[in-house]
Amino acid sequence: MDPYFNANYTGNSFVFYSNSHITALTIIISICISIFLFKKYFRTSTINKITRYFLAFALLAQEISLSIWRIVNGTWSISTSLPLHLCGVAIILSAIMLIKRNDILYELIYFWGMGGAIQALLTPDIGIYGFPHFRFFQFFVSHGLLVITTIFLTVIEKYRPTQRSIWKVFLITNLYLIFIAYFNYLFDANYLFICYKPVNGSLMDILGPWPWYILSLEVVGLISFYIYYLPFLLKDGIAKINLYFRK
């Protein structure tokens, strides 16, 4: 088996903010900026449809490729390999949203996708799989596509969250957490990391021991929702100020 596809990888382990990490982040950021710069181009009918279907295909293809990698390497398990983390769910919802657009789907994608993917990209949990292993590329492609899709839906498709969206998504998140807690109990899993923290370090390391870090994550999650909503809050505020001075 190709060593760069093997689960027992003996090459370079992933290093936070190494050249490969920074390069991956730079590529993702550059694509997002390009969406802003060429928004008129992406709004043309044919290009818009091609882009939406391409992103949907890419999102699903990378998720399928991860399952194939796990099956080939004999590491697939119901307790670890289903797309049940927020980013995994957001990937599936993003693919659906790109084809069949829906306001609630967008709200979930915006807060789950942006919040989860950005944190994951800044503090990747991929262990030994450094560049150029398959898992390195799959991780950054999957989370990068989440951010890119969210930017595309916001800038090109003109979707946006509201303050009501924050509490709606917060409620859905907690209902989903209850479902996942039961699923984890049945299958001895750790989806959403509510049974124990990620092995390779994350924001959870400074949020206290189990189970208190789960409550801390509730607060952090709600704060992050407001942070991600901040650009729209500022935009609305500026619009009101401009309207006031025009009177």
Task: Compute the chain's Rg from CA coordinates.
Answer: 19
Mean pLDDT of the chain: 91
> pTM here?
0.90
Reduced to 3 states, what is the DSSP secondary structure of residue 133? Answer: coil
Confidence of residue 69 (pLDDT cuts 50, 70, 90): very high
Q: Which are the contacts of 1, defined by CB distance < 8 A and separation ≥ 6?
A: 72
Q: Which are the contacts of 225, defined by CB distance < 8 A and separation ≥ 6?
A: 111, 115, 166, 169, 170
Residue 25 burial by Cβ neighbours in a 10 Å radius (0-12, 13-18, 19+): middle
Express each pLDDT in 124-165 by its tens digit: 878 889 999 999 999 999 999 999 999 999 999 999 999 999
Looking at the chain, the whole-number percentage of residues with pLDDT higher than 70 is: 97
Q: Of the candidates 14, 9, 145, 10, which has an alpha carbon nearest to the alpha carbon of residue 73?
A: 9
Reduced to 3 states, what is the DSSP secondary structure of residue 32? Answer: helix
Q: Is the pLDDT of residue 199 over 80?
A: no
Express each pLDDT in 24-41 by its tens digit: 999 999 999 999 999 999
The pLDDT assigned to 201 comes to 60
CB 66 within 8 A of CB 109: no
The amino acid sitting at 108 is L
Q: Of the candidates 32, 215, 206, 231, which has an alpha carbon nearest to the alpha carbon of residue 118?
A: 32
Among the ranges given (20-24, 181-185, 191-195), the one the predictor scored with the smallest mean pLDDT: 191-195
Q: Is the pLDDT of residue 237 over 90?
A: no
Q: Check residues 209 and 234 and name the one with the higher pLDDT.
A: 234
Q: Of the candidates 113, 111, 81, 115, which has an alpha carbon nearest to the alpha carbon of residue 94?
A: 113
Listing DSSP states for 47-105 in one string gives HHHHHHHHHHHHHHHHHHHHHHHHHHTT---TTTSSS-SHHHHHHHHHHHHHHS--HHH
The amino acid sitting at 183 is F
In whole angstroms, give the CA distance from residue 127 to residue 137: 13
Average pLDDT over residues 202-207: 70
The pLDDT assigned to 202 comes to 66
Confidence of residue 247 (pLDDT cuts 50, 70, 90): low
